[in-house]
Chain A
Amino acid sequence: MTDLYQSQRTMRNMRRAALQRGVIAILDVGTSKIACLILRFDGVEDTRETDGVGSMAGQSNFRVIGAATTKSRGVRFGEITVMNETERAIRTAVQAAQKMANVRVDHVIACFSGAEPRSYGLAGEWDLQDSVVTEQDVARVLANCDLPDIGEGREVVHAQPVNFALDHRTGLGDPRGQIGNRLACDLHLLSVEAAVVQNLLYCIKRCDLELAGIASSAYVSGISSLVEDEQELGAACIDMGGGSTGISIFMKKHMIFADSVRLGGDHVSSDISKGLQVPLAVAERIKTKHGGVHATGMDDREMIEIGGDSGDWDKDRRQISRTELIGIMRPRVEEILEDVRARLDAAGFDHLPSQQIVLTGGASQIPGLDGLASRILGQRVRMGRPLRVQGLPQAATGPAFSSTVGLCLFAAHPQDEWWDFDIPAERYPARSLKRAFKWFKDNW
């Protein structure tokens, strides 16, 4: 635990160094594509008034100066399975982005979609010593949160204080300087499989890059595709990727739950491939060109050439109607959405005041998906696209890039996490010196 805690602090320092240099790379390692953006920071902006404990990691304006996407290789379910292949794919993306930006980047912030994220809600309490909340008190109340058993071989990627309460008053964003007796805090903790993160770290290290931050893609796609009032009032973001579907629930501008379903668009493609006896690439093409989830009478007459490369005339001249294609796709999409529904129910999403659901990610572009999703997930479903950021190429503005764009925002305005706060003083060796100094001051 302490190891990861230290490494997260190191990453924060790395991020600060990158901001000072002004250039940082964003790497989204997905199942179907690897995207790399290069951001140039224009200088530190004044800290904007925000809810929460301000931004301690510093904020900045940025602009995208390089962007590259490459087909992902060696990644399944958002987890790296073939390290060499993934490393080469990362190298391709980073090199192309560097070439476009004409600048060398050394620091990278990465996100990944798999690794079975599990979220925990933590609570801690602390009796204040001199009735005014200081930074040390905030640090102590965070340290007092008792860590649940997150399981063997799992590590913490996000640990964000969501809420502070002072005596009977709750919902405080920044308790520092306030007067009370008892400080309590709620912490949202997201743990992932350690081995998956280690693999990713290893791949990035093999590319001569330094990791300046790591994030779960469910979280960052929520940042970019939920609008401000949705984040404030409560909403769920469903990021339908290639190999996995990420779920994140936001409330009061904090993520309070994240999960992922290990099903995605690639499974739809493989269903088509198996059902129609075509190669995976052809299945992918047919899915994107003709795919859908609602069959109408018109679709019976729309015939799709499947083709084939066998040399057999009958096999190469096969045709199917669009209805058949939809018949293959729909059960799988329904399965994904039902799985998502089950996760949301388990998280208690239906108790939230706002039931807004936002679908984003590459697989959410299937025509008619919003109709299907509103049947399964609830009435308030909309399709989400990522926020516009400066300098982003037109090709990278679709829903498939919502986690990439979210990672840019995460790089520029990271939410305060546990490791951004002070270390409690009693764990600090320098404290003894301070105490000696105090003793001198009191006795003379």
Chain B
Amino acid sequence: MQSLGRASPLRRDPAPSRWAYRMQRLWLTPLFRVTMRVGLPAFIVTLAVGIYLSDQARRDAFGQNFVEIKVKVEQRPEFLVGLLSIDGASPELADAVRAKLALALPQSSFDLDLDAVQAKAEQLDAVASAKVKVRTGGVLQVTITERVPAYVWRTDTGLILVDATGHRVAGLADRADRADLPLIAGDSADTSVPEAAALLQAAGPLTPRLRGLVRISERRWNMVLDRNQTILLPAENPVEALEGLLALNQAEDLLARDLTSIDMRNEHRPVLRLAPFALEELRRAQGIAPTESKT
């Protein structure tokens, strides 16, 4: 009788096959392991992406898709700027800025070049500086600091308002419109506005009589008073010369006399030019001229 216990006389061989043994040894090699676990997946991914992108049409479609998604996001209402708000400017200037910027609103805030907007706004003469930012609610906020006109500059072509730094602010039709501002004249008077300011400061008691300052030869100032009196100031140290004249005036009451000009250019020797009548009177008093010649 055959025993039932020995149903499987063939025992399995526990030894690994030659190939299994070799594969296990290969798998235990560190370099091979790293290659298979890191290098191979990386290679496959790179290869797949490379094959996919090797076709020009696919590459284009991919770029197209990307652009579409980008545009879609940019055009969302959350990012749209629909309103331009200008602060800190007079209504006329605000209109001028608005016209200058010429923004096609509504526009996506991604498309707005805020630096360009700022530069454009600052191109206007009347604008000292501009701050631009996009506020919540789709508002483009432009905060403007205006130039304050300080002088009226008379040129050959007309009257110009300039600010304290000599920068043009606006044109002026009539002097009487801004009678409160001092008048300057002469070529490139605007470039030496700070000097003019110092002179006006120093003019003191002469201020009521002052008509304006004239830049001569782009080098020195003449101060023009009423009654056609002119004070010629030197190119160097005009303020000191003016102060000297004022002292002289206080002592001698010089300017009340019948003079047409006082030349202060030589600091040691002021030169007076008398009006013709006064000159004649002086000569007569000195006995130089005939008292009653040619009657």
Contacts and interface: CB of A to CB of B under 8 A. Distances in A.
- Among B2, B16, B21, B29, max chain A CB count under 10 A is at B21
A99 B16 CA distance: 12
Contacts of A91: 15-16, 18, 21
Contacts of B24: 95, 98-99
Given A309-B5, A309-B6, A311-B1, A92 B25 contact: no
B3 interface: yes
A89 interface: yes
Contacts of A338: none
Contacts of A103: 28
A12 interface: no
A88 B19 CA distance: 12
A104 interface: yes
Given A95-B24, A98-B24, A309-B5, A104 B29 contact: yes
Given A309-B5, A311-B1, A311-B3, A208 B15 contact: no
Interface in A177-204: none
A89 B21 CA distance: 12
A70 interface: yes
Nearest to A312: B1
A95 B24 CA distance: 8
A199 to B, nearest CB: 18
A374 interface: no
Overall SS of chain B's interface: loop
A207 interface: yes
Contacts of A99: 24
Contacts of A311: 1-3
A102 interface: yes
B3 A92 contact: no
B227 interface: no
B13 interface: yes
Interface in B1-59: 1-3, 5-6, 13-16, 18, 20-22, 24-25, 28-29
A103 B2 CA distance: 47
A88 B14 CA distance: 9
Interface in A219-266: none
Contacts of A89: 15
30 contacts: A70-B14, A88-B13, A88-B15, A89-B15, A91-B15, A91-B18, A92-B14, A92-B16, A94-B21, A95-B16, A95-B20, A95-B21, A95-B24, A98-B25, A98-B28, A102-B28, A103-B28, A104-B25, A104-B28, A104-B29, A207-B21, A208-B21, A208-B25, A309-B3, A309-B5, A309-B6, A310-B3, A311-B1, A311-B2, A311-B3
A92 B15 contact: yes
Q: Place the interface of chain A in its size category.
A: 10 to 19
Nearest to A99: B24
Contacts of A70: 14
A220 to B, nearest CB: 25
A169 to B, nearest CB: 53
Nearest to B4: A311
Interface in B223-270: none
A350 to B, nearest CB: 46
Interface of B: 1-3, 5-6, 13-16, 18, 20-22, 24-25, 28-29
Nearest to B5: A309
Nearest to A102: B28
A207 B21 CA distance: 8
A88 B29 CA distance: 21
Contacts of A310: 3
A99 B13 CA distance: 18
A103 B24 CA distance: 10
A95 B28 CA distance: 11
Closest 10 CB pairs of A and B: A88-B15, A104-B28, A311-B1, A92-B15, A91-B21, A95-B16, A311-B3, A104-B25, A104-B29, A309-B3
A94 B21 CA distance: 9
Contacts of A104: 25, 28-29
Interface string A326-339: 00000000000000
Contacts of B2: 311
A207 B18 CA distance: 8
A419 B13 CA distance: 41
A91 B24 CA distance: 11
Interface string A292-312: 000000000000000001110
Interface in A269-325: 309-311
Contacts of B20: 95
Given A98-B25, A102-B28, A103-B28, 16 more contacts: A89-B15, A92-B14, A92-B15, A92-B16, A94-B21, A95-B16, A95-B20, A95-B21, A95-B24, A98-B28, A99-B24, A104-B25, A104-B29, A207-B21, A311-B1, A311-B2
Interface string A68-103: 001000000000000000001101101100110011
A57 to B, nearest CB: 27
B65 to A, nearest CB: 47
A24 to B, nearest CB: 15
A102 B28 CA distance: 7
Nearest to A206: B18
A311 B6 CA distance: 11
A311 B24 CA distance: 44
Contacts of A208: 21-22, 25
Interface in A100-131: 102-104
A79 B291 CA distance: 164
Nearest to B21: A91
Contacts of B13: 88
- Among B3, B5, B15, B16, max chain A CB count under 10 A is at B15
Nearest to A94: B21
Nearest to A88: B15
A299 B18 CA distance: 49
A139 B291 CA distance: 150
B248 to A, nearest CB: 104
